[in-house]
């Protein structure tokens, strides 16, 4: 709980928190397709703490809504800065936790930040995991997502294939993109089960007219397999790690 108080303070001061960005690329020619914002916390004594550990803590103790608001605000400011500087015109994708969707004010918070920085909703994508989509506490998820999508936000299902993976929601929910979880990518192309699952997801996505981003692409063999299977986009260490803003900017200027 000491950590929780420290997180509360970090949020109040804003100095220990930072958004890193990981670029996403089109497989055919490598050009920039998008960026995912990933939260980082530099703890004064423990060093960098992974969001995989402090986000569940924030969710359990009522801090996730404020943390999520901070992410929305910072991401909008960054999109605006990159557009003004001519650095990047692709959407930034943020991760949305169940708590944010359950509390009714997500839409208002998004609208306020977009308006403040003059950013179109199309430039701020929302990533939700399957468990969020199936969380019964979130009430009428479908209606909420339709509202967010109608406002112009692209919607992605994160870590696709690792949750409950009900195919029914793909039909009902207004989704634009699937992010194939890196668990299926790791052993490509040798693992025949993963290869079969990947091909099937890509075929299904084509039929449903959904984009697919393969996550965790680390090798050229994985990339070549995904390209041959018709996957359009990738995110992974082969292309870029999550980086600080200055490093992303330097790389994009170099590659431009």
Q: Does 23 bind ligand G (CB under 6 A)?
A: no
Classify each residue of 88-125 as buried b or exposed e, where b means 16 or more C-beta atoms within 10 Å of its C-beta. Answer: bebbbbbbbbbbbbbeeebeebbeebbeebebebebbb
Q: Which of residues 30-59 bind ligand G (CB under 6 A)?
A: 38-39, 50-52, 55
Residues in touch with Mn ion (CB under 5 A): 95, 127, 158
Q: Are strands 233-235 and 17-26 parallel, antiparallel or unpaired?
A: antiparallel
The CB-of-228 to ligand G minimum distance in angstroms stands at 19
DSSP-derived letter for residue 190 is: T
The CB-of-130 to Na ion minimum distance in angstroms stands at 11
The CB-of-141 to ligand G minimum distance in angstroms stands at 16
Residue placing its CB nearer to Mn ion in the complex, 158 or 211: 158
* Number of amino acids touching ligand G (CB under 6 A): 22
Asked if residues 125 and 94 have their Cβ atoms less than 8 Å apart, the reply is yes
Q: Does 69 bind Na ion (CB under 5 A)?
A: no
Out of 36, 130, 158, 211, point to the residue binding Na ion (CB under 5 A).
Answer: 158
Report the residue closest to ligand G, judged by CB: 236
Q: Does 36 bind Na ion (CB under 5 A)?
A: no
Asked if residues 94 and 75 have their Cβ atoms less than 8 Å apart, the reply is yes
Full 3-state SS string of 68-119? HHHHHHHHHHHHHHHHHHCCCCCCEEEECCHHHHHCCCHHHHHHHHHHHHCC
Out of 159, 185, 212, 242, point to the residue binding Na ion (CB under 5 A).
Answer: 159
Asked if residues 93 and 34 have their Cβ atoms less than 8 Å apart, the reply is yes
* Number of amino acids touching Na ion (CB under 5 A): 3
Out of 65, 95, 198, 229, point to the residue binding ligand G (CB under 6 A).
Answer: 95
DSSP for 117-144, written as a single string:
HT--GGGEEEEEEHHHHT-GGG--HHHH
Q: Does 130 bind ligand G (CB under 6 A)?
A: no
Out of 6, 69, 130, 158, point to the residue binding ligand G (CB under 6 A).
Answer: 158
Which residues of the chain form contacts with ligand G (CB under 6 A)? Answer: 22, 38-39, 50-52, 55, 71, 94-95, 97, 158-159, 182, 215-218, 235-237, 242
Which residues of the chain form contacts with Na ion (CB under 5 A)? Answer: 158-159, 179
């Amino acid at each position: 709980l000491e950590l929780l108080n420290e997180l509360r303070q970090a949020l109040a001061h804003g100095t220990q928190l930072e958004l890193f960005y990981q670029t996403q690329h089109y497989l055919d020619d490598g050009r920039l397709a998008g960026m995912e914002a990933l939260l980082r916390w530099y703890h004064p004594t423990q060093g960098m703490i992974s969001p995989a550990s402090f986000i569940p803590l924030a969710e359990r103790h009522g801090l996730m809504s404020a943390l999520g608001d901070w992410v929305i605000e910072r991401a909008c400011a960054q999109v605006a800065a990159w557009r003004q500087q001519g650095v990047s015109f692709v959407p930034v994708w943020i991760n949305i936790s169940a708590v944010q969707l359950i509390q009714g004010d997500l839409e208002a918070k998004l609208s306020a930040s977009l308006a403040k920085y003059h950013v179109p909703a199309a430039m701020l994508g929302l990533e939700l995991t399957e468990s969020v989509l199936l969380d019964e506490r979130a009430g009428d998820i479908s209606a909420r997502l339709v509202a967010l999508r109608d406002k112009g936000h692209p919607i992605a299902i994160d870590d696709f294939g690792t949750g409950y993976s009900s195919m029914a929601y793909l039909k009902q929910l207004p989704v634009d993109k699937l992010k194939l979880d890196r668990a299926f990518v790791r052993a490509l192309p040798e693992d025949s089960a993963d290869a079969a699952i990947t091909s099937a997801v890509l075929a299904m996505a084509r039929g449903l007219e959904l984009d697919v981003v393969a996550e965790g692409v680390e090798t050229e063999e994985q990339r070549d397999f995904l390209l041959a299977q018709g996957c359009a986009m990738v995110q992974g260490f082969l292309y870029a790690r999550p980086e600080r803003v200055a490093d992303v900017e330097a790389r994009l200027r170099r590659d431009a």
